Amino acid sequence: MLRKVSNFFTEYKQFGLVVISLIAAAGLYLAGLYTAANWLLAIAALLNLIPLVWGMIQDIRVGTYGVDILAATAILAAVLYGEYLTAMVIVLMLTGGESLEDYAEKRAQTELTDLLKRAPTKAHLLKAGKQKDIKVSEVKVNDKLIIKPGEVVPVDAIIISGTTSLDESSITGESLPVTKNENDQILSGSVNIDGVLTVKATQTAKNSQYQQIVQLVKTATASKSPFVRVADRYSVPFTLFAFTVAIGAWAISGDSLRFLQVLVVATPCPLILAAPIALISGMSRAAKNGIIAKKSSALEKLAEIKTIGFDKTGTLTKGQPVVSKITSYGKYKNDDIIQYAATLESKSNHILAKAITDEATKRNLKTKKTKHISELAGLGLKASISGQSVLVGRYNLLEQEHVNFPAKFNRSSIQSTSALVAINGQLAGVINFEDEIRSEAKTTLRLLKNLGIKNLLMVTGDNSKTAQKIASKLGITDVVSEALPADKIRAIEDVKHPPVAFVGDGVNDAPVLASADVGIALGAKGSTAASESADVVIMVDDVSKVESAVHISKRTLYIAKQSIFIGIGLSVVLMAIFATGRFKPVYGAALQEVVDIVVILNALRAHGSWKKPKIKTAKPQPATA
């Protein structure tokens, strides 16, 4: 118990000294030593006034004005009028409010700082069949590592062998375990639940996902929102009003004590506490939902957004091609085309290869045995299957190999991403691909409009035909296609309904993310450059979190403003009551402390539930391009 008390006074020294002074003064009063008690309270009040006045002077020097002038005037007036206990109650209110604010901030930042505590420190290196423990910072790309059950994944990696369930809640916000198998990518910071994994490092610790999140957390917790300055702007008219009421009460009654009685209840810590506590609570709530706001000002700006621009590939779409159409010729069927193509592509790492093998898996088609397989860089693959010569690749490859094309084959129907399959010198079929629209995209856009977003814009480097096709399915009418990075910046500068947020995930989105009023990066597996340029990073690969971010920001700003006005309103009511002179100043000081607590508790509502986030998000609905 004594240790806890000691730790408390060590952490909140000024507040602790104020409490000790009041306890000592109470003891002196009980002993009948009134003069000594009054001297103690007066000295303690004036000593606590020094840092308050010094901070006020520093603020004035940089051109900012706050409510500290009211508190300082009330403390000084109380001492001059001999109301020493009143002066100390005001000091108790200020120091206690600051201590409570500090406690509230730490409570609100729990989810953010948890990441720092869980940072992995060592890794099990597998070399020449032997296991050796090394520092995480020493892991190199392509190193083989062992990850045991219960351990945190030290670096981003790919599974070589083993199957497990991973807890990715600290990375993506997903509460359910995720099953991972061979060849699956795993992110640092995930917790290995039940299997022994052999993995190959794909990033160093410094460049891994976990350390990127930690860096974002450090940026977020060190930030200070300009909304606090907005609260100070409210304080200017409030201060003038308070002095007007105090001087008026003195002038009308002829009793100078009225001046003190009014100022005591016009020392609103609410103006100082409300905005930062609400914004930090909102940041914490966002973090629990897999949304990292680098600065609390990002939430304030996001709440005012009228237009949101989206990149197409990887943002509104999955950024992963899928088989959209198969055309077969001669005696071959669609399944034959996919089976032959998958047999060759199963040996390739090309992005289209996965789409083909996935389609074969979906159709329950097994690959065949191959001989003499070879890859022709930039063109395709060639192999022998069951004595037949098979080609899979671009049109240029088939031309180069003198493949015969049937009469009904239309060259203009071939897309840049099409894969052609030739068997024994004859075109057997064509496989077309498309980028699949995210299942949650359409619902997300609708919900954003419900939140007051006036304009939705799609800006993409893709061709006009493809862009318009995707936009029409999503209900977006404002489209800018074939846009280079500079064109994307111009596109958001020309919108009719500013301010503007932009959502992207690639390196080419980094400039526009930095230029937008609020840049939002889908950063779970996206470009580091995009994440670094953005104001808000969504750690889960889910565009519906954009709607969650806007919802949280609007709720947070609403509660911040509400808390400020509750504090002002209650203070004004108390000023009117105490201007009558019927109540002692010490009662006003005590009531103002109650107002502070009410405002702080209201501001903490921006956090939502402390146990489990309950935030309205878009429900996934099937939709493909």
Question: How many beta carbons lie within 10 A of that of residue 13, not counting itself?
Answer: 12
Are 100 and 600 in contact by the 8 Å Cβ rule? The answer is yes
Are 326 and 301 in contact by the 8 Å Cβ rule? The answer is no
Structure-token pair, residue 432: 């077309």
Q: What beta strand segments (E) does 202-293 contain?
A: 291-293
Are 124 and 147 in contact by the 8 Å Cβ rule? The answer is yes
Reduced to 3 states, what is the DSSP secondary structure of residue 410? Answer: coil
- Give catalytic status of residue 311 as yes or no: yes
DSSP label at residue 507: G
Q: Pinpoint the alpha helices (H) of 366-440.
A: 395-400
Instruction: List, edge to edge, every strand of the sheet that includes 380-385.
Output: 317-328, 426-437, 419-423, 388-393, 380-385, 371-376
Reduced to 3 states, what is the DSSP secondary structure of residue 481? Answer: coil
Catalytic residue among 156, 232, 311, 596: 311
DSSP label at residue 312: I
DSSP conformation letters of 518-586: EEEEE-SSS-HHHHHH-SEEE-SS-THHHHHHHHHHHHHHHHHHHHHHHHHHHHHHHHHHHTTS-S-HH
Task: Provide the residue type at 28 as one letter.
Answer: L
Cis peptide before 149 (omega within 30 of 0): no
Structure-token pair, residue 494: 């020309």
Strand partners, 328: 429
Kind of pairing between the strands at 388-393 and 419-423: antiparallel
Reduced to 3 states, what is the DSSP secondary structure of residue 417? Answer: coil
- Catalytic residue numbers read 311
